[in-house]
């Protein structure tokens, strides 16, 4: 495997590079924004939301589905939250729902079990099950199963990548049926995390990290493993490693024969960048909107 910059980093440097909060004054300001905006979205769309829809047996295998008025069928957008697979929930993930609903798109805020209650292998399995559930059931909520897009922030971006790389053929699909993905500020090679405090609740071995890294199982460009176009983005105020990870994975995605686009967001950090999904004038939201057309 090619030498990576992190391999010569001290533990202190590595932990700083993989700590998004090292680039902001107070992470809780942004977490509070997630909570406040999501609470406001639930209040605004209370009559257009089906809460706590179960997609699997585990306690946190739920989703909230926000629906436009009318009969549809509507395009569907699924958002997967970040938090290093250890924090946050769908309760802080509804901030963009009003913007999508205003554009006649169903918005789904997805939940999953957090580490250490679940291993990262189990978390990946859960979100893949959620994607299959959505394909099989979204028509009951007015959704168009042929027009489903995904987005994720940080750990959520990793989980989007893991959904796109799943074995769709084993579930009866001749290729990945998702129309498009958006991966924001993600980690796609998990090996450096094994040397940091981030791995304490994850308990990944190096072998686990390789098996869970989208970088090492990019879908093929044709046949049953053919995948969809992906939008990539990372904030200008993020660490060098988050920027490198995005660049390296996007390059590998394109090299494998898949379509990719990059949205430059120089004025944003790891936490406020994803709030732009709620801004109808944001280039990030506009790029996602173009995937549904």
Q: What is the pLDDT of residue 225?
A: 61
SS3 content of the chain, % helix, strand, coil (to 5): 45, 20, 35
The domain locations on the chain are 5-292
pLDDT-above-70 percentage for the chain = 98
Angle at 14 between CA 12 and CA 18, to 5 degrees: 120
Mean pLDDT confidence for 78-91: 98
Supply the pLDDT for residue 223: 62
Mean pLDDT score across all residues of the chain: 95
Q: At a CB cut-off of 8 Å and minimum separation 6, what does 108 contact?
A: 63, 64, 65, 66, 76, 77, 78, 79, 134
Q: State the pLDDT at residue 5.
A: 76
Is pTM, for the whole model, over 0.85? yes
Question: Which is higher by pLDDT, 138 or 9?
Answer: 138
Domain 5-292: give its CATH code. Answer: 3.40.50.1820
Q: Evaluate whether 176 touches 164 at the Cβ level (below 8 Å).
A: yes
Question: SS3 of 182, please?
Answer: strand
209-249 pLDDT tens trace: 999 999 999 998 766 567 899 999 999 999 999 999 999 99
């Amino acid at each position: 495997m090619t030498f990576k910059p992190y391999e010569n980093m001290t533990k202190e440097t590595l932990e700083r590079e993989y700590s998004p909060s090292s680039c902001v004054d107070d992470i809780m300001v942004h977490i509070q924004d997630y909570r406040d905006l999501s609470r406001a979205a639930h209040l605004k769309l209370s009559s257009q939301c089906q809460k706590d829809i179960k997609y699997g047996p585990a306690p946190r295998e739920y989703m909230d589905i926000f629906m436009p008025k009318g009969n549809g069928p509507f395009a569907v957008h699924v958002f997967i939250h970040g938090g290093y697979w250890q924090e946050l929930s769908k309760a802080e993930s509804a901030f963009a729902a009003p913007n999508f609903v205003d554009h006649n798109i169903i918005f789904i805020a997805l939940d999953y079990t957090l580490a250490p209650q679940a291993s990262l292998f189990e978390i990946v399995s859960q979100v893949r099950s959620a994607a299959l559930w959505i394909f099989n059931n979204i028509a009951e909520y007015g959704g168009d199963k042929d027009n489903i897009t995904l987005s994720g922030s940080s750990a959520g971006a990793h989980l989007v990548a893991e959904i796109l790389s799943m074995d769709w053929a084993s579930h009866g699909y001749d290729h990945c049926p998702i129309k498009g993905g958006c991966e924001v500020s993600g980690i796609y090679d998990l090996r450096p995390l094994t040397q940091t405090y981030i791995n304490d609740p994850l308990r990944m071995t190096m072998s686990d990290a390789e098996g869970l890294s989208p970088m090492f199982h990019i879908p093929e460009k044709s046949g049953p493993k053919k995948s969809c176009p992906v939008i990539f983005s990372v904030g200008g105020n993020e660490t060098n490693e988050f920027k490198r990870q995005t660049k390296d994975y996007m390059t590998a995605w394109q090299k494998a024969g898949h379509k990719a686009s990059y949205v430059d967001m120089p004025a944003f950090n790891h936490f406020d960048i994803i709030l732009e999904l709620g801004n109808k004038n944001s280039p990030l939201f506009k790029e996602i909107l173009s995937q549904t057309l």
